[in-house]
Structure 1
């Protein structure tokens, strides 16, 4: 303290004697004390202010400082990826950008730089192809603080805008859903809106499963919004779940191309296809025509967006005959040996006829040549409620367990009183409505020898337990008759596949209109392969063809043949017995070979 006392004495002595124009005088001690008193007051005031800021106002000051540099950013993890059964990506999220203007910062920057705001607005609007007048109006509104100029823009364009370094214009990261297979899987997968929420298909059905829960991160940013330091996670987010479908993209792509081509050459209004692995219940392909591109909102239209395989219903016609036959056999109202009169006859004034005329035939012939007359005679022996219950066992009249959004139940009539004509036409698929998916499910049950397995649009790890809905012996005999439809000179010859035994049923039904039936038809082919060891069930529906052909075997059979052939090849199903020239051996050839072996 001695040095402080000496310094104080020197200052006092200096103040007492001041040279002013060669003369000297002494300052009074009173003035010196006033001077030092003022210095002491200033010092105490400064210390008081410092103490106030350090101890009483510290929290408020820290908060104000943090408001200027600290930000809590919300991290949005990517939406879950959708894969096909083999790991092919069908829906992914790609990084995009959004351009936002902070109005006050934007105005202040231009005033400070003395720049023309309107020219900047025009430049930004030209780059982003947005309406300049609308943006200028929003910027003039005092209530608007943050204005979104454009969303879902390419990162390259966003980087260029960011390089302009205009205060108040910010670029925020966001994601956009992208569908690599475009229109091929559009009806199954659907799409999301601009905010990433599912609006169609599985994107909507599994929206919560595919969505992630956003997390929050504390960061330090500079005045331009650049990240200086990440301080840590405030809230942990939940990562999204991926979805693995049962769909085989290889078959899906082929099915769509084949269906589209045949629908266009037949000038059909629409078409649908469903392929099921009956052993597992998995849907391997489901396509519709027309479709749309989910990557382009311009191509979207409600009539294109419908998954017609599950939303649209039609009268299945003759494809129902095998199901009614199984039901009739189960009820014991007929047998395979009974011969029926198949000449046209009238029921309540309505004449029932066949397109392939024959005078008589057993159940095998009735199915092979698709006789309406024969099936009507069998149906008239049955209680129509038994027929309805039999069709319900095959999945008609109810949604599948997949429960697609917009899935239609179809219609099975439940009446107290039935007319004879209603009973008769029920035998060949009139008076009911079904979806293509329901028909495919019914034929997958036949392929599975009468066992109904739950369907799945997701890849299954374990084969689900099935329920028997029909006697195996009856189903196996029906399968033999279905094989004759394709390979024995029946109505489905165009569905044949070289090297494989194939079975199926054609269906050609008139389109129901108000008050009756119109002039248009729905052509269907529902089939199974290989018949040596039934596994795959495939249904093709061509709706309202206008190119002159309308029979199911003609318009739908070729699609079945092309898609089923590729299915058997991809799944390494060995061909059935072949001749040296590669053609399929006929039953007569096989019988001859067996007889020859027995003789030797």
Structure 2
């Protein structure tokens, strides 16, 4: 009797006095709060071509406390979570492992089984209609250009968080904010109706890069061909807009698949930004610019390089040949180590260091790219005479390919330094780095390098005047420099009459008989620049050659 009275009193209390309790218990059984995935921003090239997009996918999760009551459903589920064609015994083993996993987590309400399912597998799981098994909408990153842009773009992890490249650098900009909602579920806990929007998902913001996908493909193809042709260990190509510093193309070899990066991280490095080299002779124009700037010489000043070598602090510095009497222009044309050493040693260490520093050496370019290296330019107070000499022809100083491109852009655009930029329209204000007349003088001298008399004749571009400098440097090794390990490079710009494009090529460790920058890197520069002139619709400027070719063509008809 007392029990009946107690039960009746409890029922009255719950139904009349404390209705919130029953309502809450009821809602808990038919309403569920679920997240709403947000879309990551789209990354495009400068022309709006997609380079990274998010596509909707479904992922499967389980409530272990519910699924454990239906052990007979676990094997059919496991069969859909393994690759198609998996042997029966492996499916059975996978089912046993899944059952063990569920039993160990039976106190939880949420456990992921597999993320980012294919649409076909997701539909198959939905048709199984297993109590305690749920599908949830997410987004997966897709990279249309694949390995061609992977070093610049990077990739995201399974939670759509940037891990490398610009995906990492601009993660907070690209990432959206997920929302949530309440849904009504049936007795099988399947969603049947949306009841309430708690918080709307906010999509990420888009990012328009300075990269031109057409030029990026061209540079990637030609670099890969060159690396294979010469059996090189690696290589990089950087292409900049000469005026505003925007990165038009940046490629490396080896590359990687951003959809499946794997465990080998060596191919993930954006070597054009992270790896430094002792550039060799491509640094000679910087030393010459300092010489001109401080009134040591003019382009026509004679320089005696006989007998083809000089001794500095007991160390012999040699030229490839005995070039005899040259002028300052000829020092660059022939790439004379002896000549540039004699000129550079007339500068004080501080004067020379100041020029190099103003052109961006010794500090990061400021792009914000993850892992960017600042290179090495030691303080001039620590320079010895020999070090000053070797720095003039590119040893004892290190730089990234991007830093070299930035410095050559200063020469190309009349002495203005701009930070390289990966985002279209985000270039920083120009800083006066060297006198415009000095920049033009060096640019004119560099044009002689690509003539038949220079070391970079293979860098020439049909119907265009181009300027640049070859580089061949021994790689540092334990105890000194390796006798047969080289870095081949070429840095230049065009058209020389009105520079629009700067291009730097670096080939690391070419093998075989050809390893000089003029034989390995210069032809690649020519191929990339030829394509760049066409893609960017830049008019020719080598009118004498064009007239000769036209005359030959007419005469042959």
TM-score, normalised with respect to structure 1: 0.85
Q: 2:122 corresponds to which residue?
A: 158
One of 260, 267, 279 as aligned partner of 1:304: 267
Task: Please tell me whether Structure 1 or Structure 2 has the larger radius of gyration of its CA atoms.
Answer: 1
1:106 to 67, 77, 93: 67
1:324 partnered with 2:280 = no
Using the alignment, how far apart are the partners of 1:237 and 1:551 within structure 2? 56
Within 1, Cα distance between the matches of 2:152 and 2:394? 28
Query: Which residue, 18, 25, 44 being the options, matches 1:64?
Result: 25
Residue 411 (structure 2) pairs with residue 450 (structure 1): no
| Corresponding residue of 2:554 | none
Q: Which moved more, 1:99-108 or 1:316-325?
A: 99-108
254 and 583 in structure 1: CA distance in 2 versus 1, 3 angstrom threshold: farther
- Other structure's SS at 1:556 match: helix
Q: Where does 1:346-495 land on structure 2 (aligned, <5 Å)? A: 346-460=311-425, 464-495=428-459
Within the candidate set 476, 496, 514, 1:512 is matched to: 476
Q: Distance in 1 between matches of 2:207 and 2:266?
A: 27
Question: 1:418 Cα deviation (Å)?
Answer: 3.3
* Native 8 Å contact 2:64 2:107 kept in 1: no
Question: Which is further off, 394-403 or 249-258?
Answer: 394-403
Answer with 146-155 or 413-422: which moved more: 413-422
Match of 1:87 in 2: 48
Q: Where does residue 487 of structure 2 map in the other structure?
A: 522
SS in 1 for 2:281: helix
| TM superposition shift of 1:47 | 9.7
The secondary structure found in structure 2 opposite 1:412 is coil
Does 2:278 align with 1:315? yes
Q: Structure 1 residue 79: deviation in Å? A: 0.8
Tell me: CA distance 1:125–1:330, structure 2 relative to 1, closer, same or farther (3 Å): closer
Q: Does 1:220 align with 2:220?
A: no
Counterpart Cα distance in 2 of 1:106 and 1:583: 82
Tell me the secondary structure at the aligned position of residue 450 of structure 2.
helix
Q: Cα deviations across residues 543-563 of structure 1 (Å, max 9, x unaligned)?
A: 010122111111111111111
What SS is found at the alignment partner of 2:492?
strand
Q: Output one character per residue of 1:21-54: Cα deviation in whole Å (capped at 9) or x when no partner.
A: xxxxxxxxxxxxxxxxx9xxx9x99997875444
User: 1:30-49 to 2 correspondence within 5 Å?
Assistant: none
Give the Cα–Cα distance (whole angstroms) in 2 for the partners of residues 103 and 230 of structure 1. Answer: 24
In the TM superposition, 1:197-216 aligns within 5 A as 197-216=161-180
CA contact (8 A) 1:97 1:171 kept: yes
| Partner of residue 154, structure 2 | 190
Q: CA-to-partner distance for each residue in 1:529-552, whole Å, 9 max, x for gaps?
A: 001111211000000101221111
Greater shift, 141-150 or 481-490, is seen at 141-150
C-alpha distance in structure 2 between counterparts of 1:222 and 1:356, whole Å:
87
Asked whether the equivalents of residues 496 and 561 of structure 1 are also in contact (C-alpha less than 8 Å), the reply is yes
CA distance in 2, matches of 1:584, 1:345: 44
Determine the C-alpha separation between the residues in 2 that align with 1:238 and 1:95: 15
Give the C-alpha shift of residue 361 in structure 1: 0.9
Taking only aligned residues, the RMSD between alpha carbons, in angstroms, comes to 2.5
1:457 partner SS = coil
Alignment of 1:525-540 (within 5 A): 525-540=490-505
> Does the CA contact (< 8 Å) of 1:499 and 1:583 recur in 2?
no
Shift of 1:159: 0.6
The superposition leaves residues 418-467 of structure 1 with CA deviations (integer Å, 9 ceiling, x where unpaired) of 33221211211111110000000001111111011222100017x64211
Aligned to 1:239: 203
More divergent stretch after superposition (186-195 vs 127-136): 127-136
Deviation at 1:569, TM superposition (A): 1.5
What is the aligned partner in structure 1 of residue 555 from structure 2? none
Give me the whole-angstrom Cα distance separating, in 1, the residues matched to 2:491 and 2:82: 55
The TM-score, its normalising length taken from structure 2, stands at 0.91
| Residue 470 of structure 1: how far off its partner (Å) | 0.7
Q: 1:302 to 1:331 in 2, by over 3 A?
A: same
Alignment pair present for 1:341 and 2:341: no
The offset of 1:90, in angstroms, is: 0.6
- Deviation string 1:164-218 (CA, Å, 9 cap, x unpaired) is 1121222222221111111011111111111111111111111111111111222
User: Number of residues paired by the alignment?
Assistant: 539
What is the DSSP-based 3-state SS (H/G/I as helix, E as strand, rest coil) of the residue aligned with 2:539?
Answer: coil
Quote the Cα distance in structure 2 between the aligned partners of 1:375 and 1:125.
Answer: 67
Question: Which structure 1 segments of 5+ residues have no match?
Answer: 1-37, 111-115, 587-600
Instruction: In structure 2, list runs of 5 or more residues that go unmatched.
Output: 552-557
For the Cα contact (< 8 Å) 1:188–1:202, is it kept in 2? yes
Please state how far the C-alpha of 1:269 moved relative to its aligned partner: 0.5
Q: Distance in 1 between matches of 2:488 and 2:350?
A: 27
